[in-house]
Amino acid sequence: MEVTDLEKIVSVLKEKYEEDILYAEMLYDFPTVSLKKEKIVEIIQYLRDNSETKFEFLTTLCGIHYPELNQIAVMYQLHNMMTGKRVRLKTYLPIELPTVTSLTSVFPGANWMERETYDFFGVIFEGHPNLKRILNVDEMIIFPLRKEYPLEDQVREDKNDAMFGR
Amino acid sequence: MSTLTEDIRMADRPEGLEGQGFFATKLQTVVGLARKNSIWPLPFATSCCGIEFMATMGAHYDLARFGSERLSFSPRQADLLMVMGTIAKKMGPVLRQVYEQMAEPRWVLSVGACASSGGIFDTYSVLQGIDRIIPVDVYVPGCPPRPEQIIDGVIKIQRLVETESLRRRDSPEYKAMLNTYGIE
Amino acid sequence: MEVNHTIEDHIYQPEEKRYSYLNLGPTHPATHGIFQNVLKMDGEIIVEATSTIGYIHRAFEKLAERRPFYQITPITDRMNYCSSPINNIGWHMTVEKLLGIEIPKRVQYLRVIVMELARIADHIICNAVIGVDTGALTGFVYMFQQREEIYEIYEHICGARLTSNVGRIGGFERDFTPRTWEKIDTFLNNFPTVLKEFESLLSRNRIFMDRTVGCGPITAEKALSYSFTGPNLRAAGVDYDVRVAMPYSSYDDFDFQIPVGKNGDTYDRFMVRQEEMWQSLSIIKQAIAKIPEGPFHANVPEFYLPPKEEVYNNMEALIYHFKIVMGETDVPKGEVYHCVEGGNGELGFYLISDGGRQPFRLHFRRPCFIYYQAFPEMVKGSMLSDAILTMSSMNVIAGELDS
């Protein structure tokens, strides 16, 4: 019987980290696994070194704010260049204290991606060598990509709100 | 070919008193004529409008015809500050410092919608127009403006340069205008 | 006469080394884009480099949460603005993946032609600017004239020169006119001569090779660990190209090669981009030879604006037009990720839709942002002019660096 990508990844994960898997599904032909946040870095390292999956390339890392759940999710996407398989891992963090271990020990390329996630959402990555704001001004006190903050520049008075839908 | 030589126009002779071996006119006119045909721009290119500026400097829409052959990247040696592209709030102090380092007389050309008014980026991180921090002489709209529009903006700056009074930069009105921007 | 002191006694040896800090500030000559590098220098050698970016942060990701799908296309234009059709078409393909739209073959071939022209345009700028930074200004002027020809082709297809906003969800606004095909043919006839001339000026030029060989190298393992993609990764020796690994828009119908370098230094990056331009020309020729007849857009009336004659005469077309412009159409919920091979590497779009007219979250995987992290490591131990060349050969475009 043919094993789908999702089942293979889940079976590899189940060998050591069974209790960390929350949910696994295929979204638009993309295996997506939701995990608990405590051992996420070990799991990613395990997936990188395991000979069956060998996800050795970190494609991207971003944050997502879910206001109804009061959680901020961090999404990691990994890629196995030899076989062309990809996987998406998501962890959900409570909004009062969004902390997770940093991935820079496993993938040095995650350095700036984590800084960007911190800048936009306020996710604190423990063990990050230089967790500062990267794209916004250093003096900013809010985390602008959270849903409660407005998009527009509040200094501007000359635009009519009714016409411009601000 | 005869048509090419007929099309060449030298700079117009200004009004003045002419005689055998002398020509008298106002100092302001002569200085304006000399200045307008030798403007040295400082291309402060940030984003997409900067690529259209590179096309304007290229061989097709040559901006060097108008005297801007030498681009100066040092503000001390530049006459015209061409701000091309979006200015974010992080970049605002840098732009202000560059403007303050320029020596009088100096002109500012704001190229593109983003520099003129923030453009399509009405966001928390974009400065909604550089005229919030520095005085601007000519605005060139467009996103990005065609090279012909940028040249049109430079020609309007040339008209401003030609007709400017020599005393303008020391006048109290000019100083008051600079004070509204917080520049001494 | 006896001399019993050595020369070392006369050379000043400070107890602790003093470094100088050079600010390669946000305003650059040669218009690479604005980002700041503070270099800690020991004389002329760079010991450490610290990068500060964000001087042109325009908050694309937050802006995209407040715009319906068609209004996001002009935003994607302004990311990598040297090759904006690739960004537009990549975004439209992401939405088509979310909606499950099947694209006709002719549209896919036309998209390939437009994307390869954009890739040539991007590499023209990058290679010409590498030439300018080594002092060779002539190549820049010659190559930019060819970029003007590409601009004229874009004007025929979509009306704009630089920030093209090309295409729609499902295809193109109009089919290519006969004049467009003429212009593309003229370009394909003239460009190889100019490219060969440019190559002969630089690629075996002794001064250029002395400047660029061994300048800013990176090994393949390090490049992969820093998540490099695109010509920078291919110059390091890894042959990963999204067009071949995950073919989209019928790229697997075409026969082309992936140029790969060896050392990952500036010369390899220059030559990889040069060779990619030749390969793009060959792809365009194949696409023109094999293009099938057919519709120039998919049949999705809910997302593709109907032609104006029908809007004025037909009731359904009017309703669809209204719903599309006001953004009232329903969109399925889901999370989708699609990537295309941009001028700099794997350009990815991660779209989460919650059923409304605007995305819930849109994240751009920007290749420039990710590989610029390795810049401090690539210039450690090299001289200042090498740092300038490394920066320009990495093709850092500020719009893509800060989102």
Q: How far apart are CA C372 and CA C394, in angstroms?
A: 8
Backbone φ and ψ of C158, nearest 5°: -130, -10
- Is residue C214 over pLDDT 90? no
Residues B44, B96: contact at Cβ < 8 Å? no
The residue behind tokens 């839908």 is A165
Q: Give the mean pLDDT of C175-184.
A: 92
**Which residue of A58, A64, A86 is in closest CB contact with C361?**
A64
Q: Give the mean pLDDT of C126-138.
A: 89
Q: Could you tell me if C28 lies within 8 Å of chain A, comparing CB atoms?
A: no
Residues B44, B83: contact at Cβ < 8 Å? yes
Per-chain mean pLDDT for chain C = 89
Q: Could you tell me if A150 lies within 8 Å of chain B, comparing CB atoms?
A: yes
Q: What's the pLDDT tens digit per position in A57-108?
A: 999 999 999 999 899 999 999 999 888 889 999 999 998 999 999 999 999 9
Contact A166 B125 (CB under 8 A): no
Residue-level pLDDT at A78 = 92
Q: Could you tell me if A112 lies within 8 Å of chain C, comparing CB atoms?
A: yes
Q: What's the pLDDT tens digit per position in C193-205?
A: 999 999 998 989 9
- Is residue C161 over pLDDT 70? yes
User: Which residue type is seen at B106?
Assistant: R
Q: Give the mean pLDDT of C80-105.
A: 92
* Nearest-by-CA chain C residue for A107: C225
Contacts of A69 (CB under 8 A, 6+ apart): A92
Nearest Cα of chain C lies from the Cα of B4 at a distance, in angstroms, of: 23
User: Which residue type is seen at B41?
Assistant: P
Name the CA radius of gyration of chain A, rounded: 18
- Low-confidence stretches of chain B (pLDDT < 70) are 1-4, 11
Which of A6-15, C258-267, C341-350 is least confident? Answer: A6-15
Per-chain mean pLDDT for chain A = 87
- CATH number for the domain whose boundaries are B37-180: 3.40.50.12280
Contacts of A28 (CB under 8 A, 6+ apart): C97, C98, C334, C335, C336, C337
* Chain CA centroid to CA A22, Å: 15
Contacts of B82 (CB under 8 A, 6+ apart): B41, B42, B43, B44, B45, B53, B109, B111
Contact A153 B90 (CB under 8 A): no
* Nearest-by-CA chain C residue for B44: C27
Q: How far apart are CA A112 and CA A116, in angstroms?
A: 6
Homologous superfamily, domain A5-151: NADH:ubiquinone oxidoreductase Nqo5 subunit (3.30.460.80)
Contact B128 A144 (CB under 8 A): no
Contacts of C151 (CB under 8 A, 6+ apart): B55, C161, C162
Contact C161 B144 (CB under 8 A): yes
* Nearest-by-CA chain A residue for C55: A135
- Is residue A1 over pLDDT 60? no
User: Which residue type is seen at A162?
Assistant: A
Q: How far apart are CA C325 and CA C309, in angstroms?
A: 17
Instruction: Please report the ipTM that was assigned to this predicted complex.
Output: 0.92
Q: What is the DSSP string of A6-73?
A: HHHHHHHHHHH-GGGEEEEEESSS-EEEEE-STTHHHHHHHHHH-TTT---EEEEEEEEEETTTTEEE
Q: Which CATH class is domain C60-401?
A: mainly alpha
So where are chain C's domains?
60-401
* Nearest-by-CA chain A residue for B123: A152
Contact B125 A137 (CB under 8 A): yes
Q: Could you tell me if B53 lies within 8 Å of chain C, comparing CB atoms?
A: yes
* Residue B145 DSSP symbol: P
Q: Give the mean pLDDT of A37-44.
A: 88
Q: How far apart are CA C81 and CA C72, in angstroms?
A: 15
Q: What's the pLDDT tens digit per position in C14-60?
A: 677 788 998 888 887 755 778 888 999 988 899 999 999 989 999 89
Residues C53, C35: contact at Cβ < 8 Å? yes
Contact C26 B94 (CB under 8 A): yes
Q: What percent of chain B has pLDDT over 70?
A: 97
Q: Could you tell me if C238 lies within 8 Å of chain A, comparing CB atoms?
A: yes
So where are chain B's domains?
37-180
Nearest Cα of chain B lies from the Cα of C29 at a distance, in angstroms, of: 6
Where would I find the H helices in C24-104? 60-64, 69-77, 84-99
Residues B45, B84: contact at Cβ < 8 Å? yes
- Is residue A2 over pLDDT 80? no
Residues C104, C295: contact at Cβ < 8 Å? yes
How would residue C86 be classed by pLDDT, with cut points 50, 70 and 90?
Answer: very high
How would residue C327 be classed by pLDDT, with cut points 50, 70 and 90?
Answer: confident
- Residue from C28, C52, C57, C122 to probe the interface with B (highest B Cβ count within 10 Å): C57
Q: How far apart are CA C121 and CA B54, in angstroms?
A: 13
* Residue B12 DSSP symbol: P
Contact C53 A84 (CB under 8 A): no
Residue-level pLDDT at B98 = 92
- Is residue A47 over pLDDT 60? yes
Contact C365 A30 (CB under 8 A): no
Nearest to C343 by CA among B51, A98, B62: B51
Residues C295, C279: contact at Cβ < 8 Å? no
Q: Could you tell me if B174 lies within 8 Å of chain C, comparing CB atoms?
A: no
Residue-level pLDDT at A160 = 72
* Chain CA centroid to CA C139, Å: 20
Q: What percent of chain A has pLDDT over 90?
A: 39
- Is residue C388 over pLDDT 60? yes
pTM of the model: 0.92
* Residue A86 DSSP symbol: E
Chain C residues whose beta carbon lies within 8 Å of the beta carbon of residue A28: 97-98, 334-337
Contact A151 B124 (CB under 8 A): yes
Q: Give the mean pLDDT of C162-183.
A: 90
